[in-house]
């Protein structure tokens, strides 16, 4: 039986305006705005062939060369959920190999890069089978839509630069169904944002993002948080349009702390930041005050810090990292990253 193959590299992204809380089928409770990364990515290789008379959806998943039953189960559930959009899925047997350039399940949006890479492979195979999608814009819109169904943040990873996901009156074509590219919304001052990812802990976080989103349903502060996110998005977009790094710093740090405040005040409450997370935050704020460089921090749902700063300050910030921050990182680990151009077919 003929085998079909596809391979994609898809990046992680870091949300600057956080989405935390959802309803229905992966519909965000508030819009989010993110930066796509360059060096933090997933590479996924997919092979499939017609399954014949085998029952179900035969599936084997390997991560870093090792069989991963938990991931395999999640992918099998996802496949079942999207067969209405991609009917050929349940006619095939699947072999999937995946690897990351960063620790998975530690709060660096590994589901975003992983699901988006997988979806891009599926759509490439669909093209081979049907020739249905030849228009590049339509291909990536569909990739964003299907990625969202597997992991909300994954819908933003199919676009390079900045991406916006979630319906908002601030941008006419923004939608809950998929992300849209947003590089055109920002000043050239933000064309070369650097991102040093400081690995406080590479261990799997104790509370999954899915669980965290669920705890927002009855959260006492949920409605106020969603209003805050919309207001912060308005301020951030206005500041980035004007090239204002001071606004960027203020909003990005507020959003990071608001995200973790929701975690600490949910029922049950939980804390994903660690002592060294706070140590690094304090040092970044002091560095910004002393140097005048608009470096700021953000976090995803985990303990690891994303240090964002202008590319023009790369030398000074790198020295600051090596001299003052690595002592707070697990085994001196960090990822020298920055704004990326999006997925690549392999």
300, 15 contact by CB (below 8 A): yes
3-class SS of residue 317: helix
Which of 148, 126, 152, 156 is closest to 139 using CA atoms?
A: 126
Q: What mean pLDDT is predicted for residues 192-206?
A: 93
R_g of the chain, CA atoms, integer Å = 20
Whether the predicted pLDDT of 106 surpasses 60: no
Q: What mean pLDDT is predicted for residues 220-226?
A: 97
pLDDT at 4: 95
3-class SS of residue 58: coil
More confident residue, 104 or 296: 296
Chain centroid offset of residue 103 CA: 13
Q: Two tokens at 133?
A: 């999608």
Q: Two tokens at 102?
A: 């960063």
Strand-pairing partners, residue 132, are none
Q: Two tokens at 254?
A: 């507020």
pLDDT at 107: 62
In order of 63, 114, 267, the CA distances from 60 in angstroms are: 10, 15, 37
Lowest mean per-residue pLDDT among 105-119, 175-189, 323-337:
105-119
Look up the pTM and report it.
0.95
Lowest mean per-residue pLDDT among 45-59, 150-164, 182-196:
45-59
pLDDT at 24: 87
Beta strands in the chain (DSSP E): 3-17, 22-23, 27-28, 32-50, 59-63, 66-67, 92-100, 162-165, 179-181, 193-198, 296-299, 305-310, 334-338, 344-345
Please state, in angstroms and rounded to a whole number, the distance separating the CA atoms of residues 228 and 164: 16
* Dihedral sign from CA coordinates of 119, 120, 125, 130: positive
Instruction: Quickly name the fold that domain 3-184 has.
Output: Ribosomal Protein S5; domain 2 (3.30.230)
pLDDT at 53: 82
pLDDT at 1: 59
Helix (H) or strand (E) holding 332: none
Q: What is the mean pLDDT of the chain?
A: 95
DSSP annotation of 19 reads: P
328, 198 contact by CB (below 8 A): yes
CATH 3.30.70.890 residue ranges of the chain are: 188-338
CATH 3.30.230.10 residue ranges of the chain are: 3-184
Phi, psi of 46 (to 5 degrees): -120, 130
Helix (H) or strand (E) holding 254: helix 245-264
pLDDT at 228: 98
Q: Two tokens at 61?
A: 């998943």
Q: What mean pLDDT is predicted for residues 220-234?
A: 97
Instruction: Quickly name the fold that domain 188-338 has.
Output: Alpha-Beta Plaits (3.30.70)
Helix (H) or strand (E) holding 137: helix 136-150
pLDDT digits (tens, 9 = 90+) for 3-42: 999 999 999 999 999 999 998 889 999 999 999 999 999 9
Whether the predicted pLDDT of 105 surpasses 70: no
49 burial level (CB within 10 Å; 0-12, 13-18, 19+) = middle
3-class SS of residue 136: helix
pLDDT at 114: 95
Residues 6+ away with beta carbon under 8 Å from 325:
198, 280, 283, 284, 307, 334
In order of 81, 198, 206, 249, 284, the CA distances from 307 in angstroms are: 36, 7, 23, 11, 8
Please state, in angstroms and rounded to a whole number, the distance separating the CA atoms of residues 104 and 107: 8
pLDDT at 207: 87
150, 14 contact by CB (below 8 A): no
What angle in degrees, to the nearest 10, is found between the helix axes of 69-82 and 136-150? 120
pLDDT digits (tens, 9 = 90+) for 124-171: 999 999 877 778 999 999 999 999 999 999 999 999 999 999 999 999
pLDDT at 110: 84
pLDDT digits (tens, 9 = 90+) for 233-290: 999 999 999 999 999 999 999 999 999 999 999 999 999 999 999 999 999 999 999 9
Q: Two tokens at 180?
A: 């849209």
């Amino acid at each position: 039986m003929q085998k079909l193959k596809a391979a994609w590299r898809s990046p992680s992204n870091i949300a600057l305006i956080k989405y935390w809380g959802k309803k229905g089928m992966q519909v965000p409770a508030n819009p989010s705005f993110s930066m796509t990364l360059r060096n933090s990515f997933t590479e996924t290789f997919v092979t499939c062939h017609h399954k014949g008379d085998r029952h179900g959806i035969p599936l084997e998943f390997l991560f870093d060369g090792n069989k991963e039953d938990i991931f395999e189960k999640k992918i099998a559930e996802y496949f079942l959920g999207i067969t209405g959009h991609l009917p050929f899925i349940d006619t095939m047997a699947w072999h999937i190999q995946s690897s990351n350039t960063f620790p998975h399940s530690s709060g660096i949006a590994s589901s975003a890069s992983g699901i988006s890479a997988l979806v891009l492979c599926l759509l490439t195979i669909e093209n081979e089978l049907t020739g249905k999608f030849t228009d590049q814009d339509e291909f990536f819109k569909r990739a964003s839509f299907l990625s969202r169904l597997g992991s909300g943040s994954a819908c933003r990873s199919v676009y390079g630069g900045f991406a916006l996901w979630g319906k908002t009156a601030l941008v006419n074509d923004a939608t809950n169904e998929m992300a849209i590219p947003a590089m055109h919304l920002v000043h050239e001052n933000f064309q070369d944002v650097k991102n040093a990812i400081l690995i406080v802990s590479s261990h799997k976080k104790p509370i999954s993002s899915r669980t965290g989103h669920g705890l927002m349903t009855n959260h006492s502060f949920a409605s106020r948080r969603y209003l805050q996110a919309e207001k912060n998005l308005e301020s951030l977009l206005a500041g980035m349009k004007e090239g204002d790094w001071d606004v960027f710093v203020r909003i990005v740090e507020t959003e990071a702390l608001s995200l973790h405040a929701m975690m600490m005040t949910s029922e049950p409450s939980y804390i994903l930041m660690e002592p060294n997370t706070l140590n690094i935050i304090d040092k970044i704020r002091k560095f910004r005050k002393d140097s005048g460089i608009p470096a700021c921090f953000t976090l995803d749902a985990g303990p690891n810090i994303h240090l964002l700063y202008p590319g023009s300050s790369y030398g000074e910030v790198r020295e600051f990292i090596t001299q003052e921050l690595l002592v707070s990182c697990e085994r001196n680990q960090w990822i020298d990253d920055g704004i990326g151009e999006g997925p690549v077919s392999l």
